[in-house]
Amino acid sequence: MDKNGYFGNWGGAFIPEVLHQTFEDLKREYIKARQDPAFWQEYLSLMSTYSCRPTPLTHAENLTRHFGGAQIYIKREDLNHTGAHKANNVIGQGLLVKRMGKKRVIAETGAGQHGMATATMAARFGFECTIYMGEVDVQRQRPNVFWMEKMGATVVPVKDGSRTLKDAINEAFRDWVTNIDDTHYVFGTACGPAPFPEMVSWFQSIIGQEAAGQIQARHGGMPARIYACVGGGSNAMGIFGRFLQEPGVELVGVEAGGKGIASGMHAVRLGGTDASPGVAQGYKTMFLQNEDGQMLETHSVAAGLDYVGVSPILADHWEKGRVRFESATDDEVMEALDLTMKMEGIIPALESSHAFVQAFKEAPGLSPSEAIIINMSGRGDKDIFTIAHAFQDPSWKAFIIQKGLEYSK
Ligand SMILES: *Cc1c(COP(=O)(O)O)cnc(C)c1O
């Protein structure tokens, strides 16, 4: 990151003047923490006692045999507290908030996963917590809203605009501007104004640091390729980070192909031609937008990948050719998920399943002496409503109707 928060042509910090000092303070604390080995030690200690670090690297022997090519390894971020890599980010920011002496955190959430993780962290650290969520998402994600409230967070349904994620982001910024003194905005991914993209990537870099040691011990060398799904880009940056310096390791980001790129119903920013450079939500990246800079509707079966922007750090690696971008359609995702459950007894999140799709396409073309790593960003049992619906399971449908009848009595 340069002194203006850019990575090559991407990033920056487009923020209202009133937030200028807050961002300066945050940047200073973040840089101080990075230079203080005691901070990382405290982070590791908390992650190993409150979450489940180090997470295992699982050799998927059955899938490896099935595809008959590269050795397939899975980095198990699903085994983190709250079931995904998001814990790495929120716990790190929580420690930073403690250092800054602030008492209140706010966050935006779409599917509710980041809100859940933030509410958990706030309860653990004793912070007051407000979560902004589009009204439509509040209705769609009732289980997450239920848990957030039970953990003491206030969930505010946002009634503006399309009443989804981008409106929740705007509302969270509005809150921050009026409560700068005691409040920190826990940004959920490697996007937004500097220093968020780099800071979130730093907390997530623990994934790649562990994976490098684990693959060395198990495989006796570096992997040929690493696959990660890309929503905002934080789990991808997390596992890619340590390997950027290894020229022999190919890094592959997989975006949400939705109903197919040609349908327009997707969230493919870097792996297609529908996105264009723009500035929104405080930073510059490749956005899915129309000619007037209005954000387009995105679609994915995986709520966590359904986003118009992408990490400016990944945009830079894309432009420089260091990371290759592919996409997986909703149908391909369901197929890869089905196969992984049946062959390994592992349920990847719909988001993570995108990375599995691309790995499965490429594994047969590699040799058994090579290894690949799939970053399994989260677990899929949270997605039971979507997955059961997508598999068109009739007994699940009957169960939901029955429950509805019971509760309405
Ligand atoms: C939120 C989420 C993602 C997408 O976020 P990134 O910042 O791109 O990592 C991916 N997988 C899971 C399981 C998630 O919960």
Residue 324 near residue 337 (C-beta atoms within 8 A): no
Q: Which pLDDT belongs to residue 408?
A: 87
Both tokens of 250, joined, read: 């190919």
Question: 122 and 72 in one domain?
Answer: no
Query: Could you tell me the mean pLDDT of each successive run of 10 residues in the chain, 409 residues long?
Result: 96 95 96 98 98 97 98 98 97 97 96 95 98 90 93 96 86 94 96 97 98 98 98 98 97 98 97 97 96 91 92 98 98 98 97 98 98 98 87 90 90
Q: Which residues are catalytic?
A: 86, 108, 377
Is residue 400 in some structural domain?
Answer: no
Is residue 345 in some structural domain?
Answer: yes
231 lines ligand 1 (CB under 6 A): yes
Dist. CA 34–CA 13, nearest whole Å: 20
* Gap from CA of 405 to ligand 1 centroid (Å): 34
Question: 220 and 245 in one domain?
Answer: yes
Helices (H), 36-158: 37-49, 61-67, 86-100, 113-125, 135-140, 142-150
Question: 168 and 35 in one domain?
Answer: yes
- Mutate-to-test residue for ligand 1 from 189, 268, 340, highest number of ligand atoms within 8 A of CB: 189
197 lines ligand 1 (CB under 6 A): no
Dist. CA 134–CA 172, nearest whole Å: 11
- Mutate-to-test residue for ligand 1 from 80, 85, 90, highest number of ligand atoms within 8 A of CB: 85
Q: Look at strands 10-11 and 6-7 and give their pairing.
A: antiparallel
**For the domain that residue 245 is a member of, what is the CATH number?**
3.40.50.1100
Is residue 397 in some structural domain?
Answer: no
Q: Which pLDDT belongs to residue 163?
A: 85
Question: 220 and 240 in one domain?
Answer: yes
The residue contributing the CA closest to ligand 1 atom 1 is 304
Q: Is 287 helix (H, G, I), strand (E, B) or coil?
A: strand
Total H helices, total E strands in the chain: 16, 14
Question: 220 and 152 in one domain?
Answer: no
* Domain-ending residue, one of 153, 171, 200: 200
Q: Look at strands 371-376 and 283-287 and give their pairing.
A: unpaired
Q: How far, in Å, are 17, 284, 301, 310 from residue 280 at the CA level?
A: 16, 7, 24, 11
Q: How many domains does the chain have?
A: 2
Dist. CA 246–CA 339, nearest whole Å: 31
Q: Which residue has the tokens 């031609």?
A: 273
Both tokens of 12, joined, read: 């920056």
Residue 251 near residue 262 (C-beta atoms within 8 A): no
What are the beta bridge partners of residue 378? Answer: 84
* Gap from CA of 236 to ligand 1 centroid (Å): 9
Residue 357 near residue 67 (C-beta atoms within 8 A): no
Q: Using CA of residue 267, residue 268, residue 270, residue 275, what is the dihedral sign?
A: negative
Quick one: which atom of ligand 1 is closest to the CA of 84?
13
Question: 79 and 91 in one domain?
Answer: no
Residue 263 near residue 385 (C-beta atoms within 8 A): no
349 lines ligand 1 (CB under 6 A): yes
Question: 76 and 30 in one domain?
Answer: no
Both tokens of 383, joined, read: 């997605």
Residue 259 near residue 267 (C-beta atoms within 8 A): no
Domain that holds residue 106: 6-48+84-200
Residue type, 116: M
Residue 55 near residue 88 (C-beta atoms within 8 A): no
The residue contributing the CA closest to ligand 1 atom 13 is 378
Question: 258 and 317 in one domain?
Answer: yes
232 lines ligand 1 (CB under 6 A): yes
Residue 377's nearest CA partner among 68, 80, 7 is 80
The residue contributing the CA closest to ligand 1 atom 5 is 231
189 lines ligand 1 (CB under 6 A): yes
Q: Is 233 helix (H, G, I), strand (E, B) or coil?
A: coil
Residue 234 near residue 313 (C-beta atoms within 8 A): no
Quick one: which atom of ligand 1 is closest to the CA of 78?
13
- Mutate-to-test residue for ligand 1 from 205, 235, 337, highest number of ligand atoms within 8 A of CB: 235
CA 160 to chain centre: 24
Dist. CA 316–CA 314, nearest whole Å: 5
Helices (H), 244-383: 312-319, 330-344, 350-362
Dist. CA 127–CA 124, nearest whole Å: 8
* Gap from CA of 302 to ligand 1 centroid (Å): 9
Q: Which pLDDT belongs to residue 17?
A: 94
327 lines ligand 1 (CB under 6 A): no
* Gap from CA of 305 to ligand 1 centroid (Å): 7
Quick one: which atom of ligand 1 is closest to the CA of 233?
8
* Domain-ending residue, one of 200, 217, 240: 200
Dist. CA 107–CA 28, nearest whole Å: 21
* Gap from CA of 243 to ligand 1 centroid (Å): 20
* Domain-ending residue, one of 181, 200, 219: 200
* Gap from CA of 310 to ligand 1 centroid (Å): 12
Which burial class, exposed, middle or buried, applies to 218 when counting CB atoms under 10 A from its CB (0-12, 13-18, 19+)?
middle
234 lines ligand 1 (CB under 6 A): yes
Is residue 399 in some structural domain?
Answer: no
* Gap from CA of 369 to ligand 1 centroid (Å): 30
* Gap from CA of 113 to ligand 1 centroid (Å): 9
